[in-house]
Amino acid sequence: MNPTETVEDYYAALRREDPLAPYFAERPDAVKFGVSERLAGYDAIAEGLAEQTRTTENWSVESRGLRVTASDSVAWFTDDVGLAWTDSTETRQSFDTRWSGVLASQSDDDEGPNWRFVQMHVSAPHEI
């Protein structure tokens, strides 16, 4: 998969409620900022994403402007994403979110995507 396909496949995996950790590089310096958390290092990211999958369902992920730029070994992306899910209290959560991140290429011998996130930031804008 190229970097654009990797981001799109991550969105699809989120909708399907598939494991998301395989999309992240197994590195101690990887980081994921979510709407309400900061996860630093692959182990924390994998644990946080597993908990998210366990406690949420019915994800809606609507990309509204994905832009990806890539070089030989690094890619970066931005997107505006309509994001919604049902939490463990049966409450529907919905946000217009902004996504950005960095992906690094992996060797073809690795299982999972050829490109993996080393940094992801998801935020929800607030009016001041």
- What tens-digit pLDDT sequence spans the chain (128 residues)? 899 999 999 999 999 999 999 999 999 999 999 888 999 999 999 999 999 999 999 999 999 999 999 998 999 999 999 999 999 999 999 999 999 999 999 875 555 558 999 999 999 887 65
List, in order of start, the domains of the chain with CATH numbers: 3-123 (3.10.450.50)
Work out the number of other CB atoms within 10 angstroms of the CB of residue 105: 19
Residue 20 and residue 48 in contact, taking contact as beta carbons nearer than 8 Å:
no
Work out the number of other CB atoms within 10 angstroms of the CB of residue 55: 12
